[in-house]
Amino acid sequence: MNKKPFLLIVTLIALTIACHKTLTHTPIGEKFTLNYEANRFEKEIEAFEKADAAIGLDKLQGQIVFYGSSSIRLWKSLAEDFAPLPVINHGFGGSTFPEMTHYAERMLVPYNPKMIVLYCENDLFSGKDKSPEQVFDAFAELATLIQNKLPKTKVYYISMKPSISRKDKWNLTTKADGLIKDYIEKHKNFSFLDIRPVMYRPNGTVNGEYFIKDSLHMTPKGYAQWTSVVRPVLLKDYK
């Protein structure tokens, strides 16, 4: 038997297996036990599934899924802000990264999106103390799932906004975002979109006009600022 063709075949098989290796994440923080049920927004997810089934999942393939917490859910002008790009709004409740991971197999994978835009700032405010490292681990679990299930999808992470009502934890959100940014810079198909600079006035204070009365959720002016950062990147990369 000629050994060269045999060795070539073995090498090709090994390369194929390596290319399809399942990625995993090794936590850098202490294990965190959720103080809420990961399926607490099940009714909202079922509503998405029902509405999307009425449209037809085949018609929703290859679009841009905006996925995250209430800042995504309340982005009512999303389709208008990103036209002519095809966008899907899958923002739900006051979700956290573990919940986004819990529902990713239903809210992301079946849509085979060309792009995913992520936003979530609630992990530090879930009623139980959580370190920036634990927030990062929760993000990395979601990022790993996306890479394994949707390896060709481009992922864009929007930095956590400087919510005025959560000013006492800005140092923690900044650190968590720093860890996430470092991760993103090392992973193909991931991009970090920093919206924080456009949320400030020239004098260095957060612009209150970008927030509604709760000093947490945003006004149309606030979303306009986000759009000014996110839209040009998506338009450039959408091919």
For the chain, give every domain's residue range: 38-237
What pLDDT, on a 0 to 100 scale, did the predictor assign at position 79? 98
Q: What is the pLDDT of residue 14?
A: 43
pLDDT of residue 2: 54
Judged on CB neighbours under 10 Å (0-12, 13-18, 19+), 105 is exposed
Pick the closest to residue 110 from 185, 144, 60 (CA basis).
60
For the question of whether the overall pTM of this predicted structure is more than 0.85, the answer is yes
The distance from CA 121 to its chain's CA centroid, rounded to whole angstroms, is 10
H/E element holding 224? helix 220-237
Per-residue pLDDT of the chain (239 residues; tens, 9 = 90+): 555 544 444 344 344 434 557 989 999 999 999 999 999 999 999 999 999 999 999 999 999 999 999 999 999 999 999 999 999 999 999 999 999 999 999 999 999 999 999 999 999 998 888 999 999 999 999 999 999 999 999 999 999 999 999 999 999 999 999 999 999 999 999 999 999 999 999 999 999 999 999 999 999 999 999 999 999 999 999 98
Alpha helices in 56-201 (DSSP H): 70-73, 78-82, 97-107, 132-149, 170-185
Query: Which helix (DSSP H) or strand (DSSP E) does residue 226 occupy?
Result: helix 220-237
Express each pLDDT in 144-193 by its tens digit.
Answer: 999 999 999 999 999 999 999 999 999 999 999 999 999 999 999 999 99
Q: Tell me whether residue 39 is exposed, middle or buried, using C-beta atoms within 10 angstroms of its C-beta: 0 to 12, 13 to 18, 19 or more.
A: exposed
| One-letter identity of residue 65 | V
What is the reported pLDDT for 21?
77
Residue 126 confidence (pLDDT)? 85
Helix (H) or strand (E) holding 16: helix 3-19
Summarize pLDDT for 80-97 with one digit per residue, the tens.
999 999 999 999 999 999
- Using DSSP's 3-state secondary structure scheme, residue 153 falls into coil
CATH for 38-237 is: 3.40.50.1110
